[in-house]
Amino acid sequence: MISSSEMTETETETAPEMVAAVASEAVRAEISRGVDDEEKEKIRRQKKLEEALEAKSLRRIISAYLNYPEASKEDLKRWERSYRKLSPAHKALVPHYPLKLQRLKRCISTNSYFIINMLQAFEPPIDLSQDLDDCEDSNLECAPNEKYILDERHNSSCQPALANGCTNQEESKSMRDSLTGALSIEEFQRKDANDHSPKNHSEDTRIIDKRYDCDGDNLHHDHGSASLSPHDWLDPSLQSHVPLVDVDKVRCIIRNIVRDWAAEGKRERDECYKPILEELDSLFPDRQKESTPPACLVPGAGLGRLALEISCLGFMSQGNEFSYYMMICSSFILNYAQMPCEWTIYPWIHSNCNSLSDNDQLRPVAIPDIHPASAGITEGFSMCGGDFVEVYSESCHAGMWDAVVTCFFIDTAHNIIEYIEIISKILKDGGVWINLGPLLYHFADTYGHGNEMSIELSLEDVKRVASHYGFEIEKERTIETTYTTNPRSMMQNRYYAAFWTMRKKSALTT
């Protein structure tokens, strides 16, 4: 504490009542410095904890990818055991069955080969070695809730998402923070998500040649020239086992790859992405003549194809995504694909159900169908990692976007009203919101987790809320479509998705 006698000469010349005032000012400053330090320390510890949670969550996702071969082989063993139980007479009726199992084994290896190369290219944006145990306050927070890491409600073949009762905000927050500086065709932006300044994509598109060899069953880590250290986390001995439901998420990603990056996904893309692209094209006819292209945001961008197509159409396109499962994969395809059809995957091998033939189930799919880096993107194409609500409710985004495109996204909200409010806020006056998708609310039916917020509005109410936030409907229709569906399966879940174009008429923000 500073006493009045310690005052400087100038201060001692001040009137006595002023001295008292200055002294108490100094005391206040001292106290406030103390409070500031305490506050800073608290923030530091909270950040450290969030990073550790993030690292834990990311390690689990990487483990899920790495567990894919083992988990898939377990399925195979189960199928083999069942086959062995058949009587000789019954076996004789399906003599090719053992061969099918052999083929499945090779397909699993091929998928694993793709996955391991994808992981090898991944540069974690955070230090994965950090441990929750190092955080003094780790008991204050709960572990990350994996259901925020992959939205799989629309993947009809996937298990329902797990919930562990963690607060959603915390998970989303840690996801968002950790994704800084990671991945995209140009540059993975988060902090500068509103920075539309042009970037030279050809400089930023990185091609790597670190690959893993695969002979039948086994993956050989090629530690030859590359130092092990950047990818220590790929070392199988350091991997933990994850619940099978996590590996299911990897299988969902493989199906998502077909939707976005395979010729076989064209029908789905034509049903979902084409109407959006046609709408954007007709709404911004003069975009090529303008000095800066119109800015279009794609929240919940998944594996990035729609955001890329919008970029190719002449928009400054930004995808936003908060799932590491998605981001690791989209980054690999966007940044590291060297040519069309570079990779082969077998997306449909994981289910024996509803197959018309074994060949259908075991058919290969070549990916990507195009070379993203040569697709003709517009400068400024970026992917922004993080929770849509957290990133885009920041004031710097207000009135920044000419268009927001949501495809199979708005039902991922805890509070769809908040999504609509943010979309309205970030659009310029006169900006457009194009939406396509159902209302399969992601957090509906989270049994046993009564604290999970989930506002489930009907389409009628969604439109009423949108009108409150200044939107006027310009176009509206229903589009029948599927989501990551095997086109040759005997079971096809179809959506009658709402498709609309709304224009923001006024800057209502309440």
Q: Which residues of the chain form contacts with ligand SAM (CB under 6 A)?
A: 150-151, 154, 259, 272, 299-302, 320-323, 326, 387-389, 407-409, 412
In the complex with ligand SAM, the residue whose CB is nearer, 187 or 268, is 268
Instruction: Determine the Cα–Cα distance for residues 269 and 438; give it in Å rounded to an integer.
Output: 16
- With beta carbons less than 8 A apart as the criterion, state whether 59 and 128 touch: yes
Assign residue 488 a region: left if phi > 0, alpha if psi is -120 to 50, beta otherwise? alpha
In the complex with ligand SAM, the residue whose CB is nearer, 104 or 179, is 179
Residue type, 177: D
* In the complex, minimum distance from the CB of residue 494 to ligand SAM, in angstroms, rounded to a whole number: 15
In the complex with ligand SAM, the residue whose CB is nearer, 316 or 327, is 327
Alpha helices per DSSP H over 393-502: 416-426, 459-468
* In the complex, minimum distance from the CB of residue 311 to ligand SAM, in angstroms, rounded to a whole number: 15
* In the complex, minimum distance from the CB of residue 172 to ligand SAM, in angstroms, rounded to a whole number: 6
Chain centroid to Cα 233, Å, comes to 21
In the complex with ligand SAM, the residue whose CB is nearer, 346 or 409, is 409
Residue type, 246: D
In the complex with ligand SAM, the residue whose CB is nearer, 284 or 322, is 322
* In the complex, minimum distance from the CB of residue 191 to ligand SAM, in angstroms, rounded to a whole number: 16
The helix (run of H) or strand (run of E) holding residue 427 is strand 427-437
* In the complex, minimum distance from the CB of residue 430 to ligand SAM, in angstroms, rounded to a whole number: 25
In the complex with ligand SAM, the residue whose CB is nearer, 144 or 299, is 299
Instruction: Determine the Cα–Cα distance for residues 320 and 325; give it in Å rounded to an integer.
Output: 14
Q: What is the dihedral of CA 445, 448, 453, 457, to 10 degrees?
A: 20
Tokens coding 286: 């003069």
* In the complex, minimum distance from the CB of residue 155 to ligand SAM, in angstroms, rounded to a whole number: 8
Chain centroid to Cα 339, Å, comes to 24
At residue 155, φ and ψ (nearest 5 deg) are -85, 95
In the complex with ligand SAM, the residue whose CB is nearer, 153 or 231, is 153
* In the complex, minimum distance from the CB of residue 498 to ligand SAM, in angstroms, rounded to a whole number: 14
